[in-house]
Every structure is written in structure tokens, then in C-alpha cells.
Amino acid sequence: MFRRLRFISLTTLAVLLFSNCCLSCMFAQAPVPGSPQVGAGDVLTGAVRQRTTIPAEELLSQGKYSDAEEMFRQLLVANPQDMNATTGLGMALAKQFKLDGAEDLFDRVLTADPNNALAHAGKATVTLNRLQSSSGSIRSQRDSLLRYAEDEARRACTLAPANAEAHYALGAVLREQGHSDDAGSEFKTAISFDGKHSQAFSGLGRIKLEQGNLSEASEYFKRAIELNPGNSTAHFGLGTALLKSGQLDEAVRELNIALYQFPNSAPVHLSMGEAYQKQGNEAAALKEYQAAATIKPELPDPYLRMADIREGRGDLELALADLRSGLGQIPYSVELRMRIADNLLKLEKSDDAIKNYQTILNMSANNPQAIKGLSQALYLKAQKAAAGALLASNDYDSALKTLGDAIKLNQDDMELRLAQAKLMSLSGGKPDLAKLGEPQSDGERMSYAEALMSQNEFQKGGAMVADVITRLNDPKQSFAVADMALMINDLDNADSAYKKAQLLNGTPERVQRGLAAVIKQRKIAADDLRVGNELTLKKQFDGAAERYRDAIGTDPKLADARLGLARSLEKMPKPSFNNLREGAQQYILYVALKSDLLEKDKQKLFAQADRLTARAAKLQGTKK
């Protein structure tokens, strides 16, 4: 027999060699739809495979990346030239975010075989995972890196059209780019070629979750977990879906599993914090938010959510500390700056609030929220000082111009128009609010009430806030209205809103803190009124007027402070036009606030106001 084999012709040998090459080429082709599938472990489809790599590939498909890594390394020790094992090891490293090592391996494979589809898919995966870095240089290249990842993934799909991992990589890139529909199509294609591709199912779940379809999202995540219990993305997604549907205990369970599998995931810590916060466990929520901020300091969400908890407790200074910590990491975050400005305003730090709102407007021109905040800060500043000083500053003219520009772009925004009316009232103008129509929402009603109060129509403005309070049915809304009323020094309504929050089972500590703030404001105003009265008796009218103004700034409805200010301005040794005119106005406001006055007393005070107005006009005429 050996003698006969020795005489096989060269032609026959060539045919045998050609047949063997054809078999190798056939194995190198990716399977076509409808053809028998190898199974979940067949992740390296698209390259010549050796049977020895199959167990390692199955570990990779099951999400057991560290075990797969160890097995691929053993294969490479036995055969350093095994391109399947090299590519598999690269994938195992890429999935574990060992990105530099993975990229080196993929580059080595592509040097030997530029058309290796899985290596191109691996390059796309590595590039996509690099975007999870907090490095500023990487974040600044986000768009270009995504384009590169897309090119690599598309090349992988072209080279191996039926490769599930290639389509999954392309879907992941497209989702990151915001192309949800196209990404979903790629994930479904991946599943059609590998029905056990757990990550493709979780990719579909994330898309459905972002679209608000919680039931479908949950089904995809459950299928992904069924296929691979180690899929931390699927556990996170399912936990988030449960959280959004209000199933808090179940959400915490799934999120805990995700954290056990991937402890350094900022999004999972954020969702866990939200779940704890909704359960009322604020201490645990703060711990989770702080962990998220440590992992991804460039994300604004952890700082904003920590501030939510601090603000809910009334700890505005602590909220500011958290927000400023975030701003140190993300100096161009408009959202963080806005919250800082709003809290400064609540703390009555008007000058600091004005600076922050102006910075926001430099970053985001005609930002309606910043414009409204700026107008409110200017108005509150004017309440604490003589309006004339504010009118002479650049802040007033600049704010009015900004408001005008914003209104041109937002013709139907009633709150902007009310802010404009409120500012114009500082210069003595009295825009006709009736021309703006009736407010349609409680937000507009609160702005309308504030504009009314800026025109000294305290009774009407207070009645509008009181009307809003009657409709409140949520403690968080009640606290928001109470805080707003306290900020505009509508102490009566602030007191009512905090008590309404108490009836709605609002946090007792928060209620007591709010009510204590109201009591404190009333005491400050009463103390200023008392000192003003004492200075008036000593005929120190300048000092008395300042203390009366302080009392009015703290409690604009304090009628006796209005009367004291009117009398002190009238008795000034050297009366000025502005003092006489302001005195006349204060007499009128005293009458408006003092509802129990006899008619004859009202008429006397109106007559006194007329005399002061006449003196002011005469004094102005003399100067001319």
C-alpha cells in the first residue's frame, strides 16, 4: 500500500491540497441566515476556528470574562500564533475594560489579517468603552471617537455580514450616538444570528427604557439575565425599569446585583440613590450619590440630587457646598450654576445671585429661567435698599434690555412679561397687568402675585398665592410654594403653605424649619420696627427711616412700619423730593394695609399724602 501511495501523481496531490484549502475557506465564512447555528459559544464566527477555543468562547458568551481570559491565555501559551485565541483574549479584556491590552491584541491580529471582522468589532468596542473615562481629553474627542468606532463596526459588518458581535458593536455605537431606531435594528440583527446574545437583548431593553416603554424593556432585560445572569447591564436596566414603575424593593434588589457585578458604575449608584431617596432613606441615598460623584466627577446629576436632599431639609448652605463642588469639576454646567443662583436668592444673597444669573446669560443668551431669576434678585435687592441706588446701576438697565430681548423670542411667556412689569415698577412705573390676561398655571399665578406685590398691591397678590395654596395636594409642591412665599416675604402665605405641607404628611423637620424661618422673619421685622420707633422719639429720623425700611423689606405687610417710615420721611430736617414723594406713598400703603381704620382716619391720611405730594412738586419746581 505504501508503494502505491508513493506513486500518487503530483496532479492528485494538488487536487487534495486545493480541497483542503476550500474546507478552510468554508469554515472562515460567517453563517448565513437560516443556516444551522453553532450556539451561544460561537462568538468568534467569521474567523478560522479551532475546536480548542470553543470552551473559552462559551465562557465569553456567558459573560464570564475573567474565566474566558484565563482560558484564552492558556491556549496562547500552547500556541502563540493562534489568532482565534488572540482575538478572543482581546474581547475578554475589552469587556472587562482592560482597554490598552485589548487594543494591542486586536492590532496584532489586524497586522496579520487586516480583514479579521471580529478584531474590527473589538476595536469599536474598545473605543466605545474608552468614552466611559473621566479624562477631559477623551471627553473632548467624543464625536471623533464615536465616528471612528462606527467605521470599525461597519467594516466588521461588511466583512462578516452574519457576525452577531459585529452587529452588536454597531448597535452599541449607534445608541451612544442617539440613533435609537437604527441601534435597535442592529441589536435585533445580532439576535437573529445568535439567539443567545445576552448583551443584544439588554441593548434592546435600554432603548425601550429610554423610550418609556417599561414593560417591553423589562422583558428584554429579563431575557438577557436568563441567558447570562452575570450581565450587570441587564440587572441595572431591570432595576431602573422597576424604579420607574414604583417597585422600589424589587428595584433595590436588582441594582444591588448590578453593583455586586460592577461596583464602579456611576449610573447604577445614581439609580440606587434615587431608589433609597424614594424610600425615605436619605442617608443611604446621599452615600450612593457621593459614590457616583467620586466615580464620574464630571456628571452633574450626583451633585444636583445631593442638593435636592439638602434643599428638602432646608440646608441651603450645604446644598450650595455640594453644587459648588460639582461646578469645580464642570465649570460650564448651566444647570449647576442655575441651582447655585436660585439657592443664593433663597438665602437673600442678592448680589451673588445677580452675578451668577449674569454668568449664565453670558453662557446661554436669553435663558428664560436665568432672566426670571435675575429680575427677582434685582427686585429683592431693591426691597433691601433704596430703589434709586439700584436704578442708577448698570444692572437694572441691563436686566430690562435682556428681558426685552427674551420676550421678543418668547412672545407667549407670561412669566417673562410679569418679570418685566415687576422691574419696571421699581422706577415708579405701573404696567397694566390686566393686559397680560389671566394666568393659566399656578407657576404663572405665583409670578403674577409677585408682580402685584411689586406694585404694592399686597392684598390682591396675597389672595392669589392663598388661592394656589388651596389647590396643593402634594407636600413637595407645598414646600416649594412656601419657600417662594418666604422668599418674597409674603409671611402669612408662607406660614399657611408650610402648615399645608404638614397636613399632607410632609417631613416634620422640614415643616418646623420653615415655620421657624417665618417666626424669625417676623421677629426681625418687629425688632426693626421697635428700634425705628425709638429713634423717631429721639428725633433721629435718618436712622429711623433706615430701620423702618429694613422692617418693610422683611415684612412688606407690616403696616405700622409703613406709617413710621412716612412720618420719619416727612420730618426730615432737609426734606428732598424723593423723601417727600416716598412719604406720601407710604401713607397710602398704610391705609391699604390697615383694613380696620375708620373712614375719617383714612381721609386724614390721604390728605396728608396729598400735602407731601404737593410739597415734593413745589420742591422740584423750585429746583428747575
Rounded to whole angstroms, how far apart are CA atoms 94 and 71? Answer: 15
332-456 CATH: 1.25.40.10
Chain centroid to CA 587: 47
Question: Grid coordinates standing for 532?
Answer: 425705628
b/e sequence 16-31, b meaning 16+ C-beta within 10 Å: eeeeeeeeeeeeeebb
The tens digit of pLDDT for each residue in 485-519 reads: 888 788 999 999 999 999 998 888 889 988 999 99
Question: Band of the pLDDT at 458, cuts 50, 70, 90?
Answer: confident
Q: Of the given ranges (58-62, 166-170, 432-436, 447-451), which has the lowest mean pLDDT? A: 432-436
What percent of the chain has a predicted confidence (pLDDT) above 90? 52
3-state secondary structure of 218: helix
Residue-wise pLDDT tens digits, 28-79: 333 333 333 333 334 454 444 455 778 888 888 777 888 999 999 999 999 9
Topology agreement, domain 1-179 and domain 474-557: yes
- 509: its cell numbers: 423637620
pLDDT band of residue 376 (cuts 50, 70, 90) is confident
**Vertex 414: Cα angle to 408 and 419 (nearest 5):** 85
CB-hemisphere CA count at 13 Å for 343? 23
CATH number of 474-557: 1.25.40
Looking at every residue in the chain, the average pLDDT score rounds to 84
Query: Among 1.25.40.10, 1.10.3720.10, 3.40.50.980, 3.30.479.30, what is the CATH number of 1-179?
Result: 1.25.40.10
HSE toward the beta carbon, residue 388, CA cutoff 13 A: 5
Q: What angle do CA 466, 557, 481 make, to 5 degrees?
A: 35
Tell whether the torsion through CA atoms of 589, 595, 599 and 600 is positive or negative. Answer: negative
Contact criterion met (CB below 8 Å) for 35 and 54: no
**Which amino acid is it at 432?**
D
pLDDT digits (tens, 9 = 90+) for 571-623: 988 878 888 888 998 999 899 888 888 999 899 999 999 998 998 888 876 65
Task: Supply the DSSP string of 372-440, one letter for each residue.
Answer: HHHHHHHHHHHHHS-HHHHHTSHHHHHHHHHHHHHHHH-TT-HHHHHHHHHHHGGGT----GGGG----
Q: Where are the domains of the chain?
A: 1-179, 332-456, 474-557, 561-624
Please tell me the distance from the alpha carbon of residue 273 to that of residue 252, in angstroms, as a whole number.
9
Residue range 412-423: mean pLDDT, rounded: 71
Q: Could you tell me the pTM of the whole model? A: 0.71
